[in-house]
Homo-oligomer: A and B are copies of this chain.
Amino acid sequence: MEDKVREFLEDKYEVIVIGAGHAGCEAALASARLGMKTLILTMSLDSIAMMPCNPNIGGTGKGHLVREIDALGGQMALNIDKTMIQCKMLNISKGPAVHSLRAQADKKYYHTEMKRAIENEKGLCLKQAEATDIRINSDGSFNVYTQYGSYFNSLSVILTTGTYLMGRIYIGEYNHASGPDGLAPSNELSNSLIKLGIPLRKFKTGTPARINSDTINYDVMGVHSGDDEIIPFSFMTNEINIEQVPCYITYTTDKTHEIIKNNLDRSPLYEGVIQSVGPRYCPSIEDKVVRFSDKERHQLFVEPEGLNTKEMYIQGMSSSLPLEVQISMYRSMIGLEKSEIMRPAYAIEYDCIDPTQLKSSLEYKNIKNLFFAGQVNGSSGYEEAAAQGIIAGINASMSIQGKDPFILDRSEAYIGVLIDDLVTKGTNEPYRMMTSRAEYRLVLRQDNADERLTEKGYKIGLVKENRYSKFKEKKEKIETEISRIKNFKITPKSEVNEFLESIGSVPLKMPISIYELLKRPEINYDNIISLDIQRPKLNKEIKNYIETIIKYEGYISKQAKQIEQFKKLENKVLSDEIDYSLISGLRNEAKQKLNKIKPKSIGQASRISGVSPSDINVLLIYLEQRK
């Protein structure tokens, strides 16, 4: 018998998605829902949509992404709605722009339900196999090879390999070729990418230990509960009634910091063993203790990984220190004095690409119909991965169907900000979404994601009739309500004024509409219910939404004007064909950068680092002349 694995064509598809993490699942579902015969490959069917780090979805900025994915017809929001065990709207004491949903997931159940969604999607085929090689045929189609010798032919490939490519985990002096959490790494595909001319680089990320709940003293910790009334992530979920489980809050101590400082020489990070860059915004505890050396203590959250497990996630304690140090470090913290580690903290290093090699559609610039999404693009986080996934899935389909790419700009969605940042500015560390990255965040709220995107999703065919009609119903409900409260006037009767004074509001002199009344900061839907006698039944979300657009009317319309300005520059299209080295007047750095990024508009060009306002002027003149 020969030793060599024999190659054979197993099947043909229109789209092949490599990877079934958060990016891969959205990509494959979108592609299949757009009618493409789609294959999704995963190293293991048991790790589909696995959460190798924090057991939650959403959070500041990230929650926005989830709702946008949902508005476009994606799966993440529906899946977390089904599998959450606690939910909270974060930052409610701050402005509406930063309100963000965040839910604790039952990790295993999240996986099970996402796997089920994939299995139940018509036209989507799910297989456990490792993609080991991608070869491009002379007709531009792809052959994706697996370890078993089978290969699949397809018109398009979406690569979403997360942290698996040449994965290596680090725990102090110990390191080992491995995917996340002891799963097998993907060691073949990197070479194949390099052969295709795709340069790779190494990033790293880390996760804290999982602690046995029975060994934690919760009595000395703070309790962090969910909201009384849960607002679902998905615009399709009507309500969520679950018994929520609490999370807990604790802190590092002086002793923790001392232990860490004394052992920095045993951290692969600090000793240069890992040279790759980690996520600035999810730093390891070593990092935090060193960078913020004046901080007396760091807050930590203790979060359950599910309803059926004793494993607790210690958010904020990501580390690559040796297990020996980890044990004393955890035991030096409040309530964790007797803690037993079930899985140690570790760092993982993996291959990823430079996202400036991608177009805004997430297509690789030099290889038609090859798309990348998720952590492999240099991002970090489940939501960031899923957001890229759905866009790659859509655009793989658009491209096959000969349609224009589907691109959201920075004024339309956090997804637009995310992808524009990645492909325009690039990133030197795992990129994480944050509200501060969005210029137009008063317009890009989580509560209006459906208003911003459902129509678009419907047009490309990803939003189906049931979602679309539900959306229109909601929109109508809001419009009806707004016109009702504009017309419904309260008159300055004495009971009314007494009531207003009782809640700290100025008495009326003239009749005033509910709409106008709601502009007062101290007034909200709930506290004037006794005045608003004709009010129909409205859910919390709609009430919040209307309050927001009334109270922030001025700011929002100001931002709308800025967006108009922004759009002007976004609409000044720059062709891919332009050779910037031939445009005189551009500085050399600008020429290089512009030729590398190939921005699709003046707007995008202006965001490239190294392209100055004067370079932009040169480009504007260049465009004028060519008219």
Contacts and interface: CB of A to CB of B under 8 A. Distances in A.
A312 to B, nearest CB: 11
Contacts of A116: 308-310
A214 B124 CA distance: 11
A10 B147 contact: no
13 contacts: A1-B265, A1-B268, A1-B273, A8-B324, A10-B323, A46-B181, A116-B309, A120-B310, A126-B342, A128-B182, A148-B344, A149-B173, A149-B322
Contact of A108 (B108, B128, B273): B108
Interface in A1-34: 1-6, 8, 10
A280 B531 CA distance: 82
B5 A342 contact: no
Given A45-B210, A119-B214, A183-B183, 7 more contacts: A3-B173, A5-B322, A6-B322, A46-B181, A116-B309, A126-B342, A148-B172
A327 B148 CA distance: 12
A380 B340 CA distance: 33
A43 interface: yes
- If over half of A's interface residues share one DSSP class (helix, strand or loop), that class is named, otherwise mixed; here it is mixed
A554 to B, nearest CB: 50
| Copies per complex of this chain | 2
A383 interface: no
A479 to B, nearest CB: 41
Given A128-B182, A173-B2, A265-B1, A323 B45 contact: no
Interface string A173-194: 1101010011110000000000
Interface string A258-288: 0000000110100101000000000000000
B119 A309 contact: yes
B45 A311 contact: yes
B182 A178 contact: no
A309 B115 contact: yes
A10 B322 contact: no
A130 to B, nearest CB: 8
B308 A6 contact: no
A263 to B, nearest CB: 11
A255 interface: no
Interface residues of A, number: 59
Contacts of A45: 210, 311, 342-343
A497 B204 CA distance: 86
A44 B181 contact: yes
Interface in A323-370: 323-324, 327, 340-344
Contacts of A171: 148
A125 interface: yes
Given A125-B212, A309-B119, A182 B43 contact: yes
Contact of A5 (B172, B210, B309): B172
A127 interface: yes
A323 B149 contact: yes
Contacts of A176: 147
Contacts of A6: 172-173, 322, 324
Interface in A97-151: 108, 112-113, 115-116, 119-120, 125-129, 147-150
